[in-house]
């Protein structure tokens, strides 16, 4: 299936996450179902957690990744702040508590099959574990790599991209993995539609698309499962393994 689904955080009403024996949300967390449904392999929610509110996992069937947009969360003595990431692997046990200022969380997980790796661990990815660099081949771009799908026990990918050049145009391309893009700053022009912060774009595997940064630039995070390959369209350029490109070109100078 080649398909693009666009949904706004602000259009999704506040409600509750459907707790289960393996994933439980305590009182004090309001949730928005932004990208959901049996036909969506990647589910995307946004949570607003009051101070002290807890989320707990008890051997979930899937890997869960939470990007902290604001505030902070704590797992024992581990603190995960804004622009940092917390991963709960399938089969793990964990309890996460919102800090004294609460937290807003972007929550991604997959539901379309058993994860291919053993699971059972959690990862608190603070700034010391996150890689940041610029692409010398494309001026005005900063890349942040949070998770690169090479973990031996889980398989998640999350990177962030900042385009500071207004009107930057991405060449038409596709990817070998389903993905969800979440706009956190600036604007993205997708076709004739101008997408603002708080908008999520779910893009199926092998779907061809392009986009343009808005007049104030663009900042998004991008979640995928597995190691993605970037496939240019309408050009003789070869497909690009994004992890390899980042390691060899973007982070080699940092």
Residue 88 forms part of a structural domain = yes
Provide the number of structural domains found in the chain: 2
**DSSP bridge partners of 56:** 24, 95
Instruction: Give tens-digit pLDDT for 72-98.
Output: 999 999 999 999 999 999 999 999 999
DSSP letters, 77-127, are TEEEETT-EEEE-TT-EEEEEEEEEEEEEEEEEE-SS--SS----EEEE-G
- What digits encode the pLDDT tens for the residues 18-39? 989 999 999 999 999 999 999 8
Say if 37 falls within a structural domain: yes
Domain boundary among 101, 126, 151: 126
Same domain, 138 and 83: no
Same domain, 93 and 153: no
Neighbour count for residue 172 (Cβ, 10 Å): 14
**Does residue 53 sit within a domain?**
yes
Pair (120, 137) in one structural domain? no
pTM of the model: 0.96
pLDDT tens-digit readout, 166-177: 999 999 999 999
Res 223 pLDDT > 90: yes
Q: What is the CATH number of the domain that holds 205?
A: 2.60.120.10
Q: Buried (b) or exposed (e) across 203-221, using 16+ Cβ within 10 A?
A: bbbebebebbbbeebbbbb
Q: Which residues span the domain enclosing 207?
A: 131-250
Q: Do 142 and 108 fall into the same domain? A: no
**Are 111 and 165 members of one domain?**
no
CA 193 to chain centre: 22
Tell me which residue of 147, 142, 143, 99 sits closest to 124, measured CA to CA.
147
Domain membership of residue 81 (yes or no) is yes
Of 92, 126, 160, the position where a domain reaches its end is 126
* Residue 29: HSE in the Cβ half-sphere, 13 Å Cα cutoff: 29
Verify that 139 and 241 share a domain, yes or no.
yes
């Amino acid at each position: 299936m080649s398909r693009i689904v666009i949904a706004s955080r602000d259009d999704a009403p506040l409600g509750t996450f459907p707790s289960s024996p393996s994933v439980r949300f305590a009182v004090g967390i309001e949730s928005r179902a932004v990208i959901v449904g049996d036909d969506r392999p990647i589910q995307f929610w946004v949570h607003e957690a009051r101070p002290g509110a807890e989320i707990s996992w008890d051997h979930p069937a899937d890997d869960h990744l939470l990007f902290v947009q604001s505030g902070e969360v704590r797992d024992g003595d581990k603190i995960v702040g804004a622009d940092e990431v917390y991963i709960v692997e399938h089969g793990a046990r964990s309890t996460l508590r919102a800090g004294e200022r609460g937290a807003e969380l972007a929550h991604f997980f997959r539901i379309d099959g058993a994860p291919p790796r053993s699971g059972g661990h959690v990862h608190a990815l603070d700034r010391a574990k996150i890689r940041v660099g610029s692409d010398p081949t494309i001026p005005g771009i900063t890349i942040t790599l949070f998770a690169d799908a090479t973990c031996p026990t889980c398989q998640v990918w999350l990177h962030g991209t900042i385009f500071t050049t207004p009107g930057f145009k991405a060449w038409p391309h596709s990817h070998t993995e389903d993905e969800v893009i979440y706009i956190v700053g600036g604007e993205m022009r997708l076709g004739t539609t101008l997408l603002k912060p708080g908008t999520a774009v779910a893009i199926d595997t092998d779907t061809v698309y392009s986009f343009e940064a808005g007049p104030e630039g663009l900042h998004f995070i991008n979640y995928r499962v597995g190691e993605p390959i970037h496939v240019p369209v309408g050009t003789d350029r070869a497909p690009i393994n994004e992890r390899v490109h980042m390691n060899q070109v973007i982070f080699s100078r940092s």
